[in-house]
Chains A and B, each alone.
Chain A
């Protein structure tokens, strides 16, 4: 029972990070109708920036802020410099370009910083608080949960209640009509990418301190799991991303704890396959346009 509670609470914290990263995929999908396969590589660039800033200034918070800014700027730069110039009749060129970008960024980081794992220190303790003899959550996990909840709440408010959110949604949903109504559609795509990459960088920054350490590939697995989350939840649905993120986080934590760490990717793959075969658009997706 103790073990179960510990795995469950740990899984919730992991799930919050997953949900955050999946939400970043949902944002960029909603803003530009692409799945950014370079999301992990771009986020890890931001983590390296945070690592360097923390090492230079000695403050975790300066590093965090710098990492978020780097991620946001990188998102805007990639959208302006690369994605905008691609033909968008089919999703294929965007995906292939993103793969090229992954190779450039990860190889570049490995050349610049070396392939070794660099330890990153979390700002709060990682030893769990014990309530009634049962180890529950560590302060760092609490920090992760609180940050994720705050950011998701802020994004939900932005999309649902502000004029900018309305314009973002309109530009993604009906670009032609929005342009006629005076929405600057290309700018909305850039803002979507910026928001998305800042969110992804935050998720990566929250994850890396509890992993093996910082390495050009240390966010890869998060991307694959978050992709599974986004698909299970439906690429269109922020609520889906949140629910599926927490669910898959708990699933991975339980499988790792009770079976083995090696079985976790297989469990995610099995779940992904099952959902894609039963509901190809995801569990929370709206109905697609008719095809014939």
Chain B
């Protein structure tokens, strides 16, 4: 209940913030909201179960394609809100099924094997778009959702799309927060810490890993749907290896396992490249063209290395460190510091259940 209230408050605050932004910023906010949903899924997957997925962009793309297909099919026969809902269900289903397949593979793999498999998946996405009926390079278009009559004098289309994206990602992330602090989150940490010990305490690692992959995939798919709402299309070019790595960067920067960190990380990876490219326009044209897009990637790479070397808990850990300077000395705990420990009533259940 408290969680729902908190989620509603944050969502309302974000929606209120859209009034202070111009249309382009609102478009960026919609993008950041979609990315946030995906990064939240990814950060829980990496931080709680240690499974590094380099292919979360493909899960977003799967959600986008699922949304486009379902929403386009229903838009002809049903009113737009129904089409939006159908599209979201389609997005969650496609991403969830792809995540389940990956998760089944992930349960048998560890560390580098999984990362390599997901990397091969990203590289194969443009080929898949050409070979499967996904519309090739152009991709699929999604229906345009116009501003409702009652609001049309009040807000612009970009702001409306930002609202939709914010609500979608709130709906995607809130269950994830509940999952993370509940008994399933505890099981994931147990598996990450010591698989053998987890098995001895009656936690079966296979289903836990697979479940974590599905739980990380569905928000990513909904995030892809939010991007499709904002851009009215989904194409393979937008979900390449560079974007996929940016999702990992956002999760690492924010602090692996932290949802609040994921929010900060996704705003950074959306806003910083744009800021740097705007600044690069000021330098001479030739140099500017070289810096365009590359300088941001260079900075992100350097920061990722620095964060991994110096502060593995990321920005989220930095903030909690400021808030509570006198906590226990930081030992290599699997949970990022400052996160609420799982409630006590869920603990004994892991001993009795299989």
Q: Does A235 contact B (CB under 8 A)?
A: yes
Residues of B within 8 A of A227 (CB): 116, 119-120
Q: Does A189 contact B (CB under 8 A)?
A: no
Q: What CA separation (Å) do A273 and B185 show in the bound complex?
A: 28
Tell whether, in the assembled complex, residue B332 and residue A235 are in contact, meaning their CB atoms are under 8 Å apart.
no
Q: Does B333 contact A (CB under 8 A)?
A: no
Q: Does B15 contact A (CB under 8 A)?
A: no
Tell whether, in the assembled complex, residue A82 and residue B109 are in contact, meaning their CB atoms are under 8 Å apart.
no
Tell whether, in the assembled complex, residue B109 and residue A276 are in contact, meaning their CB atoms are under 8 Å apart.
yes
Tell whether, in the assembled complex, residue A96 and residue B309 are in contact, meaning their CB atoms are under 8 Å apart.
no
Tell whether, in the assembled complex, residue A90 and residue B50 are in contact, meaning their CB atoms are under 8 Å apart.
yes
B128 (CB) vs chain A CBs: closest residue: A266
Q: How many residues of B contact A (CB 8 A)?
A: 49
Q: Does A280 contact B (CB under 8 A)?
A: yes
Q: Chain A interface: which of B222-230, B260-268, B299-307?
A: B299-307
Q: How many residues of A contact B (CB 8 A)?
A: 51
Q: Does B312 contact A (CB under 8 A)?
A: yes
Residues of B within 8 A of A276 (CB): 105, 108-109, 113, 117
Q: How far is the CB of A225 from chain B (nearest CB, A)?
A: 9
Tell whether, in the assembled complex, residue A277 and residue B123 are in contact, meaning their CB atoms are under 8 Å apart.
no
Tell whether, in the assembled complex, residue B294 and residue A110 are in contact, meaning their CB atoms are under 8 Å apart.
yes
Q: What CA separation (Å) do A264 and B294 show in the bound complex?
A: 29
Instruction: Render B174-214 as a binary contact track against A, CB cut-off 8 A, 1 for contact.
Output: 00000000000000000000011001100000000000000
Identify which of B109, B290, B305 contacts A101 (C-beta below 8 A): B305
Identify which of A97, A103, A110, A221 contacts B309 (C-beta below 8 A): A97
Q: Does B295 contact A (CB under 8 A)?
A: yes
Instruction: Render A70-99 as a binary contact track against B, CB cut-off 8 A, 1 for contact.
Output: 000000000000100111011111011101
Identify which of B104, B119, B127, B249 contacts A266 (C-beta below 8 A): B127
Q: Does A263 contact B (CB under 8 A)?
A: yes
Q: A82-B305, A85-B309, A276-B108 are in contact. Are A103 and B200 (CB under 8 A)?
A: no
Tell whether, in the assembled complex, residue B295 and residue A111 are in contact, meaning their CB atoms are under 8 Å apart.
yes
Tell whether, in the assembled complex, residue A86 and residue B309 are in contact, meaning their CB atoms are under 8 Å apart.
yes
Residues of A within 8 A of B147 (CB): none
Residues of B within 8 A of A97 (CB): 304-305, 308-309
Q: How far is the CB of B79 from chain A (nearest CB, A)?
A: 38
Q: What CA separation (Å) do A178 and B131 show in the bound complex?
A: 52
Q: A91-B112, A276-B113, A277-B105 are in contact. Are A228 and B120 (CB under 8 A)?
A: yes
Q: What CA separation (Å) do A262 and B119 show in the bound complex?
A: 17
Residues of B within 8 A of A62 (CB): none
Residues of A within 8 A of B52 (CB): 92, 95-96
Q: How far is the CB of A275 from chain B (nearest CB, A)?
A: 10
Residues of B within 8 A of A266 (CB): 124, 127-128, 131
Residues of B within 8 A of A283 (CB): none
Residues of B within 8 A of A103 (CB): 245, 249, 297-298, 300-301, 304
Query: What are the 7 tightest A-B residue pairs by CB atom distance, in nearest-first order?
Result: A103-B301, A100-B304, A35-B112, A104-B301, A107-B298, A91-B111, A107-B297
What are 27 A-B pairs at a CB distance below 8 A?
Answer: A35-B112, A85-B309, A86-B309, A90-B50, A92-B111, A93-B312, A95-B111, A97-B308, A99-B248, A99-B249, A102-B245, A103-B249, A103-B300, A103-B301, A104-B302, A108-B294, A114-B290, A115-B290, A227-B116, A228-B116, A263-B127, A264-B127, A265-B123, A272-B120, A277-B104, A280-B109, A292-B199
Q: Identify 8 new A-B residue pairs, CB closer than 8 A, beyond the known A96-B308, A263-B131.
A: A90-B111, A96-B304, A97-B304, A115-B294, A224-B119, A262-B127, A266-B127, A291-B199
